[in-house]
Amino acid sequence: MNPNDVILRSVTKVAIVIILTFSIYLFFGGHHNPGGGFIGGLSVAAGLVLLYLAFDIETVRKNIPVDFKKVAGLGVLLAVLTGMTSIFAGKPFLNQTFGYFNLPVFGKTELATAVLFDVGVALAVIGTAVTIILSISEDG
Amino acid sequence: MNNLVIWPIIIPLIAGLILILFRKNILFQRLLSILAIIGIGVVSVSLMSQIKGNGIQTLQAGGWAPPYGISIVADMFSAILLLSSSIVALFCLIYSFRSIGEKREKHYFYPFYLFLITGVNGSFLTGDIFNLFVCFEVMLISSYVLISLGGTKLQLRESIKYILINVLSSSLFLVAIAYLYAMLGTLNFAHLSLRVAEAGQDGLLTTVSLLFLIVFGMKAALFLFFWLPGAYSAPPTAIAAVFAALLTKVGIYALFRTFTLVFYHKPEVTHFIIGILGALTMLLGAIGAIAYWDIKKILTYNVIVGVGFIIAGLASQTPNGIMGSLYYLIHDILIKALIFLLGGAIIVITGTSKLKEISGLIRNHPYLGWMFFIAALSLAGIPPLSGFLGKVFITRGTFEAGYYWLGGIGLLTSLMVLFSIMKIFMNVFWGETALSKEMEKGTTKGLMFPIGCLTALTITLGLGAEGIHEYVQIAADGLVNPSLYIEAVMAGAK
């Protein structure tokens, strides 16, 4: 059976941009507004699941050639390593620091090491969620 | 502040995460996991010497002052448990190299083994009750995977029961923490202890403490052990040995922490109930151990007896009883892993766990036989071996506290344990040799080394009890005087 899902695919192509943009917005808004690594990662995963629904798994895998199990592992590793850098600086584990920088486009911006920890969380969430979806969708 | 305290948690965590990235390279997996566990052992030895010299070591994660941030606390009690659990984890790991099989190794066996150790170490070190919950979950989720890894029918059936029970008890744990937080407004162990002392332990707090008793009792197989015999006989030997040695001990550790540090004001209610549960656990476990003719069943019921015995020392609430519990806890971690590994080796040779189908192994396997004999005597608490001192101190403690019935049941169950384990020895090793060398189902090559090391350890621990006495004394003092713990943690607040 080969259903004609041209509408679904066209809408997906537009919607995926909006979903991924929104998830990045959620991710970076986490410090001052509701959002953060967990929900940001989950909405990226939701976007990926939409892609899997609209196209088939093989097509998406060809275009996003990532092993999501490793993404999850790398995410947690990044989070732990961010916590560990403070050990080498002589501070307690999981200590964080921040500073203000003048960036070309954004102007004066606050950058905190907590964001790196959040990147780790987001990667772990994306990796786990997509791995679950992919493993249960494969027929044994 | 001492960052060394966090290393026992992050070493296995990082090693496990790296191993996820190198799934196919089994040699690297084995090497890194051994290195990680040796690393934990080294760290815990140096922690022990620091604690002996400078008192309890603490770390405020993130640099936040005590009641607000998460405290990581290493007192002598945790450090001793860290060391003994890493020793056992090392030998079970070596045992698993030969016995676990390539298919399991390629499906993330080593990462999950290390995550299990992460959870266990985290539970031993945390100074915050909600963080204890999180570490429990890290440990339990890894154990769910390890128990079902391989996907045989028996494993799947038992893992469903195991997960259901643990999800239930975890949610009860969460509810209990919510009650506690609503009443006292804090989650830090030291601060909780202060608040309970200020408010006085009234009926409501005692009720919540009993809820914690139910939760930890379920994890530690204290009276609520109905899930344990099935769950521990399903996974492969190396995993079952680690479970028997470590998982129930974490529940026991949590019971000791909460009932010596936080809820110690109404011993006539809480500790009396703990004593009754301990006595029932010992009796029912011992009855189970002598009832069965199956190696795995007998060994799992022996785990339950051990839990009841350690808890009897807590119930007595005397310095001698607590010290006996500590000695017995160290011994129990070693010996439970040892008898599970021995039982596993017997099953590898004969291909069955039914006692009536096995006999006369001593002719072809003299070393295995005599090591089993030593382990059996040690388990029952025969003097030169490691189980003796703990039993003496616990019995003395219960008598001092006036719980003669509890001490008496402890001694009675020791006899029953000796009977149950000697039943295995006599049936398996004595008698006509039914199995010639050629008919054996498997080889013990590579399995004898960890078994031999653990046997040597239980002998040294018995003969060299004097050597560790100093450390056990410090740990027992810390448990009897909660103020030492509170001062060490709260020192960061000033």
Instruction: Please report the ipTM that was assigned to this predicted complex.
Output: 0.90
**What is the average pLDDT score of chain B?**
91
Residue B84: pLDDT over 90: yes
Which residues of chain A have a CB within 8 Å of the CB of B13?
76, 80
pLDDT at A137: 83
> With bands split at pLDDT 50, 70 and 90, how would you rate the model's confidence at B249?
very high
The stretch B453-459 carries a mean pLDDT of: 93
Nearest CA in chain A to B6: A93
pLDDT tens per residue across span B132-181: 999 999 999 999 999 999 889 999 999 999 999 999 999 999 999 999 99
Beta strand residue intervals within B319-474, DSSP E? none
The stretch B89-107 carries a mean pLDDT of: 90
Alpha-carbon distance values, B133 to B57, B130, B175, B212 (Å)? 21, 5, 11, 12
The stretch A7-13 carries a mean pLDDT of: 92
Residue with tokens 């890194």: B32
Chain B closest CA to A36's CA: distance in Å?
19
The stretch A71-91 carries a mean pLDDT of: 89
Which residues of chain B have a CB within 8 Å of the CB of A70?
20-21
Q: Is A80 on the interface with B (CB under 8 A)?
A: yes
Instruction: For residue A120, list its beta bridge partners.
Output: none
**Phi, psi angle pair for A99, to nearest 5°:** -155, 165
Which residues of chain A have a CB within 8 Å of the CB of B118?
none
Residues whose CB falls within 8 Å of the CB of residue B73, separated by 6 or more in sequence, listed in order: B5, B56, B57, B58, B59, B125, B126, B127, B189, B190, B485, B488, B489
pLDDT at B166: 94
CB contact under 8 A, A92 and B21: no
pLDDT at A2: 62
pLDDT tens per residue across span B264-309: 998 889 999 999 999 999 999 999 999 999 999 999 999 999 999 9
Chain A closest CA to B213's CA: distance in Å?
32
Pairing mode of beta strands B57-60, A107-112: unpaired
pTM over 0.90: yes
Alpha-carbon distance values, B388 to B197, B396, B407 (Å)? 36, 12, 14
Residue A91: pLDDT over 90: no
Residue B437: pLDDT over 80: no
CB contact under 8 A, B3 and A76: no
pLDDT at B34: 95
CB contact under 8 A, A70 and B21: yes
Q: What is the DSSP string of B12-32?
A: HHHHHHHHHH--S-HHHHHHH
pLDDT at B425: 92
CB contact under 8 A, B62 and A70: no
The stretch B14-42 carries a mean pLDDT of: 93
> With bands split at pLDDT 50, 70 and 90, how would you rate the model's confidence at A96?
confident
Residue B329: pLDDT over 70: yes
